[in-house]
Every structure is written in C-alpha cells, then in structure tokens.
Amino acid sequence: MHYENTRRHSNRLDSSGIRFYLSNELRQHDLGYITFGTMSNLFGLAIPPLVERFVIDSYCPAKVTR
C-alpha cells in the first residue's frame, strides 16, 4: 500500500488493514467485498482465476482525507 506523504512527516502511523481468510469449504455466501477509492462496479474486483498476484491501483486526493 502506498500513502502520499509529500511533506515527509515521520510521525504518521497507519493502523488500517484488511485480512483475507481462504478456505476449501464451500460457504453459504461465496463472496462479499468493499471498495474504497476504486470503481464500485461489477468488475471492480474481478480477480482472474489461478493468478499468483492481483494488484489494484487507486488514488485518493489529499483534500478528501482531511
């Protein structure tokens, strides 16, 4: 994850995060997701099958984080 820190503040600390839990057991609900700063459409998080790595880039302007 990348954060914009143009003023180079060294005392900034982030405690956000997300955890993914994978299971071979079929659950009642196959998938649910939440997006921040990405396109919230049907294909916004369409992860292709059998990939080792899947990257989503997005941008959040500084003015909306104040």
How many angstroms separate the CA atoms of 16 and 18, rounded?
7
pTM exceeding 0.85: no
Task: Output the pLDDT for position 44.
Answer: 59
Which regions of the chain are under pLDDT 70? 1-4, 31-45, 57-59
Q: What does the chain come to in residues?
A: 66
The 10s digit of each residue's pLDDT in 25-41 is 888 877 666 666 555 55
Task: Output the pLDDT for position 39.
Answer: 57
Write the CA distances from 43 to 2, 35, 40, 48, integer angstroms. 23, 12, 8, 11
How many angstroms separate the CA atoms of 40 and 38, rounded?
6
Task: Output the pLDDT for position 24.
Answer: 86
Structural domain count of the chain: 1
Angle at 28 between CA 22 and CA 19, to 5 degrees: 30
Full domain range(s) for residue 28: 1-66
